[in-house]
Structure 1
Amino acid sequence: MMTSQYDLAIVGATAAGRAAALGAAARGVRVALLEQGVGLAQAKLYTTALCAHAQQQPGSGIGGLQAAIAKANWAIAALSEQQSAWVLGDRGVDYIAEFGQFSSGPTLDLATATRQLHATRYLLTPGWRSRLPQLAGLNEAGYLTPEQIWADPQCLLTARRLAILGATALAVELAQSLQRLGWSVTLLAPQQLLPTLDRTVAYWLQAQLEADGVEVLTHSAVTQVRTLDGQKWLQAGDQAIAVDEIMLACGLQPELSDWQLGERLAITANGQLQVNARLQTAHPHIFACRRSDAAIAVAEAAIAVANALGQPRQTMSYHALPIAIATDPPLAAVGWTETWARQQLAAEALITTVQAAQASRAQLLDATTGGCKLIARRDGEILGAHAFGLAAAEWIGAIAFAIQQGLPVADLAAMPVTQPSASELIPLVARAALKQCQQ
């Protein structure tokens, strides 16, 4: 078997893996990228396509679901061409379209079907799969996962009533879109929806789901599932809920089962890789991206590559990295929440909220749901922002950039925007914050 030597071997041809490979090759090092599995690494493209189709063609049922998935598959293929094996190879990456497993011996090697790889450092950029809850009767009753829907939307053909389990972004995205396409959806969450996000915007989103017809049951942990007369019954507290199908969206975990990492890495009880602030695992020669959000994983990859190659060491900060949830209207957030700011700063925390209706474009389009909350210090330092409303995912990046660059609230207040536009909320909320500072 042929043996190949590399400075860096990247395992997992996800968006983060491909970005890491190109970044490493640009530094002039010998780099290999192994295909491995990508799993749910592209979930956001599917849910975004699904949200758009449900908004444009509500009630289109299984045909609408199939059309949205086809659109997402087309987009994934088009984007993959931009970082295809040919493009990677042309830029100096040895792309290996094979699965690899780590050796069990004292040396850290990767073996594929045709070659043995040895690298000075390794970077894991895994795909993701649905995390399955330990729930009595679930396996016997049967369930679906998002990846099954993407692969075969026909699995929902005969189902009319759906129970979606989870409080995650994926759970709320699927709940709204499938409800709008024509299914009857009950969303069961063991706590509040989106528990890591700001409570105000999470409540705004929950109100929108309920307005769309989704039955939202928060603080409703399912304890048992059973099948009776062709229906699936879920027990949540003192409620028994009958549905045709159960979909799990309880969270994701990295797809590592076939890599034979053994005891080299520390893995948490829910299957997550443990890394330090430099994205280094328990093994000093193995680094890893640990977030399932593709954009955040790409940011992690840049830090991990620099640290793996011994360049000026960097630590990973998530503070200025925005996230978006593909609902209608969208939810977007960056930085601190109000709860965290008040815990850390007490009276020095400055919390300002404006309503989406204050933006002229929102009025023109009758899209006045939601608003924007800005989190800052009283000295003007911007700490976070949370928005639910028209085009929020498009303009949250401006606030994220301000946080990243250390710009004060006054700079946001002076930010030029076009009119009419949804981005008017940025200077509006900043000016409101400045007034509070002066009080």
Structure 2
Amino acid sequence: MRKPILLALLGAALLAGGLWAASLEPGAARAALGRALVGLEAWRGAHPGWLPLGYFAAYVAVAAASLPVAVWMTLGAGALFGFWGGLVLVSFAAALGATGAFLAARWLARDWVRARFGARLGAIEAGLARDGALYLFSLRLIPVAPFFIVNLLFGLTPMAPARFYWVSQIGMLPATAAYVFAGTRLAEVATPADVLSPGLIGAFVAIGVLPWLARGGLALWRRVARARRWPRPARAERNLVVIGGGAAGLVAAYVAAAAQARVTLIAEGPMGGDCLNFGCVPSKALIAAARAADAARGAPALGIEGAARVHWPTVMAHVRGAIAAIAPNDSEARYRGLGVEVIRGRARLLSPHEVAVETGPEAGRRITTRAVVLATGAAPVVPPIPGIEGVGALTSETLWAWLSGLPAPPRRLLILGGGAMGCELAQALARLGAGVVLVEPGRILAREEEEAAALVAQALAADGVEIIAGRVVRFEGREAVLESGARVGFEAVLLATGRRARLTGLGLEALGVPTEKPLETDAWLETLLPGVYAAGDLVGPVQLTNAAGHQGWVAAANALAAPLWRFRAAAPMPQAVFTAPEIARIGPTRAELTAQGLAPEVTRYPLAELDRAIAEGARAGWVEILTDPRGRILGASVVGARASEILAPIALAMRQGLGLGKLLATPQIYPSWPEAAKNAAGRWRQARVSPRALALAARYFAWRRG
């Protein structure tokens, strides 16, 4: 969005500077320029058709070759041929040149384009699948990416060349007109004072304002078009209907009730959702017991020796107790007390403004509403492995009841999947005395930094977890057969192979919203249906309780405040793997930034140098912060004890746009774990101290001593 404004200002600055310099030395330079212009006009008078023809051919060639000078040639066309002549010439030349680049990318430079700009191709393909030619039209009106990149990337899509041409022809016309008009104003500049003429200033203002007007106009057109298909009722029972009683839905309902809106919460599953009942709360309670068991075994380096005795029924009673203690915060009674109407049952969208209750005590009821928030979460993925139906595979939703029914830790549990859930449960159960085999086709914790994942793998192995790199191809009785032919016996199988958004049964298909892929939302969490928002695991991109809660707040706020105000969902989101050692991260990894063509500066601070880590004998791990040359944080990862606590000040700094200098200037408690973040910022600062500045300082202080 800023590029047209910057180009316009740069052009004006260069022109003003050139004219000013010429006015200071009215000699050979100005005379040569004048003779050149006179000669060009004389040649144009003798050959009136050749100049526009040659200019047209040159423009097509430049655009087809993706050379970044088209803006200046557009300004030049306005100066040479006037507004209408320049507009016709550039409009057709730009569309033909863009199509030439489109065809070159498709037939000649496919590999080069994919290697150079492939990171942006996914967004292009997604937008094209969603909006078709309208997506290209929007990119032409609103230059969020340089036109030459759009030309090349669309060459890798299945769009027909003819469609690409005419959409480009129409879509680029407003911007072309603005630049040509600016060129006509530039042609009238004869003295330095003319640079500040209203006409020239207005031309450059038009160039800067046009993308904003186009964005607003296109958004308004889309909203009107969608609203026309589903007109809102004159009166509605509710300001907001929230479907789903997990973290996202509960926060959305709370926000609406706190704002004094009339809100209905429809929940089919248990209140509190997966986090309270099957995920965060029970797993962290189990991890707490496992850490206590590990501590009871002693720490020889600290002079402590011991032996843990695990009483399994008490462990599981602790897990159930943790759920029971937190449940009142998410209960129907609490939310009814807040003013939320809570309905137990399954909901279905009849339109963006009408919701039907299909099951439960109020089955058959229809509710009209101004807006809807979908927060139905995600369900465990059951991979299509032959024989899996006969083994009674466990998921996060059935694991805890099974564990509670055991008299002792499981003798041999096979866990499929080496993500956060698989690794956390594998280590916790192994520390409590279970036999655990973890099978993962690639490396465990594939989304984390490779070095961090390797440290966790070593810790899991030290705690007795057997890690097998491979893939289960079938089940035979109580054995899993790997693709290598090896067989793994088990007492039970736990599936930790991911989660899929719950989209079926909501009525989305009948309303034209695809459900065979993740639900699509815009930056404000509104879906393809007007007034219908989505939040939490249903949306992603990360399935975390903190992300769900934040998105629930954003979705509810936007649903209630539209069209007067709206908020963007924050990104990125801090996350942690609660193994020992922990891994905490925010933002992309080094590998992801490199894939985007970025070369971040890496600052690493080892926890072995942190006083608190030394005192507790927990020196393994590090803090790694990725920054740009100015110290702006692009991403960070922490590995070690209390990593999630160390990351907190870094996440705050990143979210608020504070650089490492601000983080360094913020005192932390001594000795504490978050001090590692401040020390990492100090390491970054030390690397930027100029030797020359230090030498000058030494000389200055020597002079001060006399």
Contact 1:47 1:326 in 2 (8 A): no
**In the alignment, structure 1 residue 336 sits paired with structure 2 residue 570:** no
Secondary structure of 1:434's match?
Answer: helix
Whole-Å separation in 2 of the counterparts to 1:86 and 1:156 = 33
| Structure 2 CA distance for partners of 1:383 and 1:69, relative to 1, 3 Å | farther
Whole-Å separation in 1 of the counterparts to 2:352 and 2:451 = 52
1:382 deviation in Å? 0.9
What does residue range 294-309 of structure 1 map to in structure 2 within 5 Å? 294-309=545-560
Aligned with residue 13 of structure 1, among 227, 245, 266: 245
Residue 93 (structure 1) aligns with: 340
Identity of paired residues, percent? 29
The one-letter code sitting in structure 2 at the alignment partner of 1:79 is: I
Secondary structure of 1:328's match?
Answer: coil
1:420 deviation in Å? 2.2
| Structure 2 CA distance for partners of 1:40 and 1:17, relative to 1, 3 Å | same
**In the alignment, structure 1 residue 183 sits paired with structure 2 residue 434:** yes
**In the alignment, structure 1 residue 211 sits paired with structure 2 residue 457:** no
| Structure 2 CA distance for partners of 1:266 and 1:366, relative to 1, 3 Å | same
The one-letter code sitting in structure 2 at the alignment partner of 1:341 is: L
Residue 171 (structure 1) aligns with: 422
Q: Deviations over 1:187-208 (max 9, x none)?
A: 1112222222222222222221
Q: Over the residues paired in the alignment, what is the CA RMSD in angstroms?
A: 2.5
Residue 287 (structure 1) aligns with: 533
Aligned with residue 237 of structure 1, among 460, 480, 484: 484
Residue 498 (structure 2) aligns with: 251
The one-letter code sitting in structure 1 at the alignment partner of 2:355 is: D
Length-normalised TM-score, structure 2: 0.57
Aligned with residue 355 of structure 2, among 104, 109, 113: 109
More helix by share: 2
**98-107 vs 16-25, which deviates more?**
98-107
More strand by share: 1
**In the alignment, structure 1 residue 193 sits paired with structure 2 residue 425:** no
Residue 40 (structure 1) aligns with: 274
**In the alignment, structure 1 residue 426 sits paired with structure 2 residue 672:** no
Secondary structure of 1:146's match?
Answer: coil
| Structure 2 CA distance for partners of 1:88 and 1:81, relative to 1, 3 Å | same
Tell me the number of residue pairs that the alignment of Structure 1 and Structure 2 aligns.
426
Q: Which runs of 5+ in 2 are unaligned?
A: 1-234, 295-307, 691-706
Length-normalised TM-score, structure 1: 0.89
Q: Deviations over 1:146-181 (max 9, x none)?
A: 221222314555841221111221111111001111
Whole-Å separation in 2 of the counterparts to 1:203 and 1:217 = 14
Secondary structure of 2:426's match?
Answer: helix
Residue 84 (structure 2) aligns with: none
Residue 273 (structure 1) aligns with: 519
Q: Which runs of 5+ in 1 are unaligned?
A: none
Contact 1:353 1:429 in 2 (8 A): yes
Aligned with residue 312 of structure 1, among 557, 560, 565: 565
1:32 deviation in Å? 0.8
Aligned with residue 148 of structure 1, among 398, 402, 409: 398
Whole-Å separation in 2 of the counterparts to 1:117 and 1:308 = 16
Secondary structure of 1:267's match?
Answer: coil
**306-315 vs 6-15, which deviates more?**
306-315
Aligned with residue 221 of structure 1, among 471, 477, 485: 471
Whole-Å separation in 2 of the counterparts to 1:54 and 1:401 = 30
Contact 2:456 2:580 in 1 (8 A): no
Residue 392 (structure 1) aligns with: 643
Whole-Å separation in 2 of the counterparts to 1:77 and 1:154 = 15
Contact 1:378 1:437 in 2 (8 A): no
Greater gyration radius: 2
Residue 324 (structure 1) aligns with: 576
| Structure 2 CA distance for partners of 1:356 and 1:156, relative to 1, 3 Å | farther
| Structure 2 CA distance for partners of 1:436 and 1:376, relative to 1, 3 Å | same
1:4 deviation in Å? 8.0
1:50 deviation in Å? 0.9
Higher relative contact order (CA 8 A, sep 6+): 1
Secondary structure of 1:374's match?
Answer: strand
Contact 1:341 1:375 in 2 (8 A): no
